[in-house]
Each structure stands twice: as C-alpha cells, then as structure tokens.
Amino acid sequence: MNSHDEYAALLDAFLDGELSEAEAEGVRVHLSECADCQAYVADALAMRDAFPDIEETVVPDGFAESVLASLPPRRVSWRGQWAKVVLPLAACAALVILLHGTAGRRVSDIASGGGAGTQKAVTTDADAGGAAFDNADTVPPQAPELYDVAESQAVQNATADKTEPDMIPFSMQSSGAEVPEEAEEESVSNGRAAPAAAKAIPDGYAVEEAFPDEAPATGVAPEEETKTAVVPGEGAATDAFPVGVSVPESVREEGAATVAEHSASAPRPDMNALLSGESETPESREIDETADLSSGAVSVWTLPAEALDLFDGYAPAEQTESGIWYALTPGEFDTLSQKLDELELEIVPGDDAPPPTARPGMEYVFVPL
Amino acid sequence: MTVDFTTTPERELLTKAARGNRDAFGELVRRYEKKVLALSNRLCGNPEDGADAAQEAFVSAWQGLPRFRGEANFSTWLYRLTCNACTDSLRRRQRRDTHSGPSLNDEEARVELPDPAPSPQEAAERRELREEIRDALRQLSPEHRQVLILREIHQLSYGEIGEALSLDNGTVKSRIHRARENLRKILIERGTFPAANRLSKQERRAAYEQP
C-alpha cells in the first residue's frame, strides 16, 4: 500500500492520463480518502478548464502570407562540388555524344525524347532545353563560365561543407554530373551540402512523382524496410558511393530550364571509371571491416531502376538480361541506404535468387534495367 | 499558378516543402498557425511578440525541413522551434528592459499581488477564471509556462513535451507539478481560488472520477 506521498507524486500523471489503468484506480481510491489530494486535483481541473482553447487563437490577418514572404531562398550547397562537376563535364558531354549510339538504352531513350517523363537536354547553362545532345559545340563554351564560379566557390565551400557535421556530403563522382542552374543562388553555410549536384534526376524520374507517398522527407519507409535509424550522414558519403541527387524543387521551379540531363549520368559503370578519372575503383577500396564473410547469410535486395546512378563507378557483381547485381558489404549497404533515404527511393527485400558467385555476409542488390 | 494543397496529406507536404515548394509550405503554415500562435502568444506574453516569434519559428522550420528526419512528429518539432523563438524573444526583451528599468530574471516578473485574499463573494466579482489564468500564466517562469501550455492547451503527452523541450520524462513531470503548484498559488494569492478546500464532497468526487 502506497503512502500518501507516493500517491501525491502520482497526481499529475493521473491528471494527464499518463498512468496505467491499475495505477489510476489506485489513485482514485486514495483520492476518496485524502482531502488534500482531492483539492489539488480539483484545482488542477479547474485551471485546465480555464485554459484557453487553441481554436480561440486570433491569427493576425495575412499571417501566412507574411511568413511566406519572409522565407529566404532555400540554400542549396552545390558549390563545393562544382569544380569536380564542371571540369570533367565538357569532356563527359562530348564523350556521351560520341557514345550516343553505343551507350545503354537509357541514353538513347532520353536523347530521342523517350524514356520516362519529360527529359530535358543537357547543357551547362540556361539553354532552353533544346537538343543539346546534338550540339556538342554548345557545351564546352559554357563550361568556362562555370569554372569561374565553381573555382571561387569551391574553396569556400570545401571548408564550409566540412565544418558542418550534419551536412550530407555527397561525393561527386563526376560523370554526368549536372551543373545546377542556380549560379546566383546563395551558397552554403548551414544549408544542405546534400544536393551536391552530382546528378539530377529529371522530372520523369523525380522521386515525388514516381513514389508519391513512399518515402517522405521523414525517411520512414526505407527505415521500415531495411535498417535501423538513418542518421543524417556524418561523413555518410564515402567515396565509394557516388550519389545521384535529385534537383531540389526550388531549382526546378526557379526556371532551371537546364536541369541537366539524367542520361549523361547513366553510362555504364565502366564508362564512368573512364570519364571520371577520379572515381575510386572497387579495387582501390579499403577492406571494409564490416563485411562479415563468415555469417553464411546472403541478403538480397531490389532497387528501383532509378537507383542505377548510385552505382556509377562500381563494378557489377553480375549482369543479367534484366538488370545488374551489385555486391555490397554491410558498411557499404548502410551508406547506400542513407543515400536512398535522401533520395526517397525504396529498397525492398528481393525475390530473385542472388548470383551464383554470391558470397555470404554480403548484401546483394539488384537494379533492373 | 498555385496548386491547391488543402487536401494533401502532411507527409507529402513535408516532402515537397523540404524540396523548396513554397505552396506546400504555405499550406503547412495555414494548418499550424493557430497552434503555433496559441503557444507563442502565451510564451511571449503578448500577441505582437507572439506573432513575431511564430513567424520566426516557421522560417526556422522552412530552413530546417530538409534536415528534419521525422523521428519526431512534425508538430512536436514545430513546437520546439516555437519555444526556441520565444525564448530568444524573451531574452531580447530582457535586455531591452534591463536598459530601461528593473530587470526580469528567469523567475519572471514579480508582479505586485493584490491585497490578501478577499471573501468568496468578492472573488466571484472578480474577473473570470479564464482571464485570471491568462494573467497568472505571465507570472510563471518561462520553463513552467512552456510545459503547462504544451500540456493543457496543446495536449501533448509527457513524451512529446520531452521531445519538444529536450527533457526527460521525470523532468517533464516535476516541472508540470511545480508549474501547477505555482499557478495555483498565484491564483490563490489573487483571490481567484479560495485557499481552503472549497468543493463540496459531490464536486470533489466528480473531479476525481475522470480524467
């Protein structure tokens, strides 16, 4: 039997519905015997009753409008990566055009205006999305302009990005890196480093259209499917994971007629190794200590086709007619998951059998073509 | 062209707004403005500072949305931003007032209390309890005001309050307790609450039958 003081300590929780039914019942019994506690509860309820109602709140006229008017432009920290993006871009674009006929289906789909959704041509500036593919000439001249911006920004942003632990640095494995339209847009500081413009996903692939309700900014869905809490990457992006980043809506909205071309980012992994020159090849990766090769378990996952970009620079484990298998250590898999979270792409346990070469302890991810 | 987001689920609004869609964010503002203002008006003690702090909270939300991971509810997070904005506002006011007069400390203004408790009849002639509460709340410390408002006006659970204010459950509970005690004391001192047990036995029974 609890003492009076013990019950007295429970009164607020009782009032606030935080007790179990059994505990509440104990308090009720005590209240029937204790005048002091009764008085406390009665007064608390009277006060509660007299508290204002939310609905009575008077909202000043035009409040929402004045909030919207005072919103600063969303900071998009593309800058730190421009040096890596722009420098190979000219070469890349030329090469892509060269490869136009031979590169994968995607590139040609897109070049011919097919593919998913509305595709915009690749340019590095405000060319109204014409057939920039056909205009190899237009691309290089633009690049120098951006060099200037990139260089001036790259330095300040290189440091800025590093000082922000909660930013998500996306390494810029070049190929097909797209240069965002917003040269004027404010840079940095504690904005996200995240959309470090590696690749833009064109409207057709825009996550919100492809997966309208799947993975909210809250990243709930991927978490449910795959793993434990995703923490905004402190150093989440290792160089092993080039990342495709969706173009923030602000960029699109603000008339980025030149959301750069997804196709340029789609070349096969081996192409990327050629193009980027600075990508970390799988062979040069350090041994990932998280790989548990003794566990005997092979996990199989399936990604949407849009995720193919994430594996640029990465050698496939196995290529089939319908898609590509990639082998990831658990550490790499975690990194991938965080990227997917950012992009709101969904990874699901896979149905397909893993490749025969599958090693235990590795995660096998299938990306359909 | 403005898209109509009035029926869009919140998750989608958050996603779009995180990417820079101002129309989606505008809808979020409309959905939450009353709740945020209800909190900020009372924490700041007046509607002008309250509106400023509310606006500041929404701007912080806009800027922080891309990083908002959703471990908390959006509303809880928004309340946290609101409390922060109000704390800033109060500090600024303190600094202003320091220069111009007696300083406020964290225990909030020591308001001159009215004469000792009048008789119940006189108390009944006084302003309604609702108004009294509003004034009495201003006399609480910011910490006590915060927890009580979140609990009684916004009906947040202890867990949610803890999330909003970065407090553990035990601290939330003890703050609520002290807040209630203090509020009650202020009301008694103002003559709104007679000091003694005033309810009849039936009323008392009704009081503890619920909540």
Give the model confidence (pLDDT) of A335-351 as tens digits. 888 788 777 777 777 77
At A76 the pLDDT is: 55
What tokens were used for A117? 């959704």
Contacts with B58 from chain A: Cβ below 8 Å: 67
What tokens were used for A222? 């991927």
Average of pLDDT values for B110-134? 61
Q: Do you know the residue count of chain B?
A: 211
What lies within 8 Å, CB to CB, of B7 at 6+ separation is none
**CB-CB contact of A346 with A304 (8 Å):** yes
At A122 the pLDDT is: 39
Domain ranges of chain A: 4-56, 79-368
Between B103 and B189, the higher pLDDT residue: B189
d(C-alpha A192, C-alpha A248), whole Å? 11
CB contact under 8 A, A63 and B133: no
**Residue B196: pLDDT band with limits 50, 70, 90:** low
Q: Is B10-100 CATH 3.30.230.70?
A: no
**Residue B121: pLDDT band with limits 50, 70, 90:** low
CB contact under 8 A, B133 and A52: yes
Place of tokens 């909190």: B39
Place of tokens 């871009």: A89
d(C-alpha A154, C-alpha A79), whole Å? 6
d(C-alpha A116, C-alpha A118), whole Å? 7
Average of pLDDT values for A156-185? 42
Asked whether the predicted pLDDT for residue A171 surpasses 70, the reply is no
pLDDT mean across residues, chain B: 82
Amino acid at A95: L
Asked whether the predicted pLDDT for residue A108 surpasses 70, the reply is no
Average of pLDDT values for A22-42? 93
At A156 the pLDDT is: 46
At B74 the pLDDT is: 94
**Residue A85: pLDDT band with limits 50, 70, 90:** low
What tokens were used for A140? 């290089």
Mutate to test the interface with A, among B2, B5, B19 (most CBs of A within 10 A): B19
Kindly state the helix (H) or strand (E) to which residue A161 belongs, with its residue range.
Answer: helix A139-163
At A90 the pLDDT is: 66
CB contact under 8 A, A64 and B42: no
Average of pLDDT values for A282-305? 58
Q: Percent of chain A at pLDDT above 70?
A: 40
Least confident of A45-59, A81-95, A171-185: A171-185
- A82-99 vs A269-276: helix crossing angle, rounded to 10: 120
Contacts with A230 from chain B: Cβ below 8 Å: 69
d(C-alpha B29, C-alpha B25), whole Å? 6
Asked whether the predicted pLDDT for residue B211 surpasses 50, the reply is yes
d(C-alpha A48, C-alpha B149), whole Å? 10
Nearest CA in chain A to B60: A71
CB contact under 8 A, B67 and A44: no
**Nearest CB to A13; choose among B29, B153, B173:** B173
**Nearest CB to B19; choose among A46, A59, A249:** A249
Q: Does B152 touch chain A (CB under 8 A)?
A: yes
Determine whether B95 is exposed, middle or buried from the number of CB atoms within 10 Å of its CB (0-12, 13-18, 19+). exposed
d(C-alpha A167, C-alpha A158), whole Å? 12
Q: Does B133 touch chain A (CB under 8 A)?
A: yes
At A269 the pLDDT is: 44
Asked whether the predicted pLDDT for residue A5 surpasses 50, the reply is yes
DSSP conformation class of A62: T
**Residue A253: pLDDT band with limits 50, 70, 90:** very low
Place of tokens 């000792």: B116
At B60 the pLDDT is: 95
Average of pLDDT values for A264-277? 45
Q: Percent of chain A at pLDDT above 90?
A: 16
d(C-alpha B113, C-alpha A40), whole Å? 22
10 Å Cβ neighbour count for A57?
21
* CA geometry: angle B147, B149, B151, nearest 5 deg: 70
Average of pLDDT values for A69-82? 67
DSSP conformation class of B79: H
Instruction: Give bridge partners of residue A300 from the DSSP assignment.
Output: A364
Domain ranges of chain B: 10-100, 120-196
What's the gap in Å between the CA of A95 and the closest CA on chain B?
32
**CB-CB contact of A131 with A121 (8 Å):** yes
- The CATH class, in words, for B120-196 is mainly alpha
What's the gap in Å between the CA of B79 and the closest CA on chain A?
14
At A288 the pLDDT is: 45
Between B199 and A184, the higher pLDDT residue: B199
Mutate to test the interface with A, among B6, B14, B15 (most CBs of A within 10 A): B15
**Residue A125: pLDDT band with limits 50, 70, 90:** very low
**CB-CB contact of A267 with A104 (8 Å):** yes
Domain A4-56: which CATH number of 1.20.120, 1.10.3470, 1.10.10, 1.20.5: 1.10.10
**Nearest CB to B15; choose among A28, A217, A231:** A217
**CB-CB contact of B43 with B145 (8 Å):** yes
CB contact under 8 A, A55 and B22: no
**Sheet hosting strand A323-328, strand order edge to edge:** A318-319, A323-328, A363-368, A299-302, A348-349
The phi, psi pair for A201, rounded to 5°, reads: -95, 115
Contacts with B63 from chain A: Cβ below 8 Å: 72, 74-75, 191
Average of pLDDT values for A270-283? 45
At B1 the pLDDT is: 56
10 Å Cβ neighbour count for A240?
23
What's the gap in Å between the CA of B148 and the closest CA on chain A?
10
What lies within 8 Å, CB to CB, of A99 at 6+ separation is A107, A267, A271
ipTM: 0.76
Task: State the pairing for strand pair A318-319/A348-349.
Answer: unpaired
What lies within 8 Å, CB to CB, of B11 at 6+ separation is A213, A216, A218
**Residue B100: pLDDT band with limits 50, 70, 90:** low
pLDDT mean across residues, chain A: 61
**Residue A31: pLDDT band with limits 50, 70, 90:** very high
At B40 the pLDDT is: 95
What tokens were used for A214? 């799947």
Q: Does B58 touch chain A (CB under 8 A)?
A: yes
**CB-CB contact of A265 with A177 (8 Å):** yes
Contacts with B20 from chain A: Cβ below 8 Å: 74, 248-251, 253
Between A217 and B191, the higher pLDDT residue: B191
3-state secondary structure of B3: coil
At A11 the pLDDT is: 95
Closest CA to A329 of A367, A282, A270, A368: A282
d(C-alpha B16, C-alpha A258), whole Å? 21
Average of pLDDT values for B106-114? 45
**Residue B43: pLDDT band with limits 50, 70, 90:** very high
Q: Percent of chain B at pLDDT above 90?
A: 55
